[in-house]
Amino acid sequence: MPVRRVAVTGLGVLASCGIGTEAFWNGLCGPAPVGERRVLDFDPTPHFDNPKEVRRADRCTQFAIAASDMALSHAGNLIADPLRRGVLIGTGIGGIETLEAQIKVMVEKGERRVSPFLVPMMMPNAAPAAVSMRHCFQGPAENTCTACAAGTHAIANAARMIAYDRCDVVLAGGSEAPFVRTAIAGFTNMTALSSSGVSRPFDADRDGFVMGEGAGVLVLEEWNMAVQRGATILAEVLGGASTADAHHITAPSPGGVGAIACMELALEEAGISPEAVTHINAHGTSTPLNDMAEAEAVNKLFGSSGPLMTSTKGITGHALGAAGALEAVAVVLAMQKGLVPPTAGFATPDPEMPEINLVTGEPAAWSPGPALSNSFGFGGHNGSLVLGPA
């Protein structure tokens, strides 16, 4: 990244495998669950001033606020001017829970009974708006809505705001709460979801993704400011990239050519060669076409004995627009722990898939170095983020 270095000084996370960084990490290294990956036992009330505010926030926004609170608490006392504090939070489908509920109200009770809070609750930018108001972040407060690449794009774009001297601090990540009947039916009928309810990234028997939900938020901070205030620097954002396959609304481009271009551009921005990359947190959704395309891309760029690679979606499921943010948190935690979590659900190698250096079974010991986090979404949206150890 040019001009200014970007430090990661705080993490906040909610996922089906755990709320908070330690629970989340322990879940990533634990046994693979079966079925939907919902965030259980989540209580939003500590993150709001009163019950009325909770009722007027969609679950997607509640997740984002909670993850932001955790991340800010982790980062400690920030000193930036409010006008130089930003919020970039991505989502794939935003407040769809509110939308479905209010459509049902309209059908059953009529248009006049639709809530006047429908629009501010369902809009994709509700989460960054609510976070900015809660913490008085008066710089850019924006939403990235690029399907499953949204969280990754949000973090990369937030880092550029710091690198190019627009902001000194940015809360960046993604949030998603997609568990409504309409969304589940849509994904089911397009045969994107696993019929077995098991997430098997890169496995020969993979048959679709398992739905997940949650939020991940990182505190990004200008490096020298973080040092001066005595912050604990967890990692560094080295670069990122975004490309479009320009091929198909759901299928990846053949041979993973869009993914290759995205990873190459991210490494170029980071100023490192493919040989310097030591770990990849894969998009790895457990769908036949996407896993094959990503494996082809990684094999072509890094070779068969390339970086340690894992897909944490075997544990978290696919949290759509929040996925890249959850996985960025996982990469930073992997650096802290000196371990790469295994690809849960993997059992049978696919004989037709190019060879990749996939971590399976148990966490792998790792001397932290530059790492890639990949996200490839519907619409052909590709995102890659390069993170380095502090």
Which residues are marked as active site?
148, 283, 318
- Beta-carbon contacts of 66 under 8 Å, excluding residues fewer than 6 positions away, are 12, 14, 19, 42, 44, 47, 215
Which residue in the block uniquely carries the two structure tokens 């509110």?
Answer: 98
**CB contact at 8 A, 369 and 349:** no
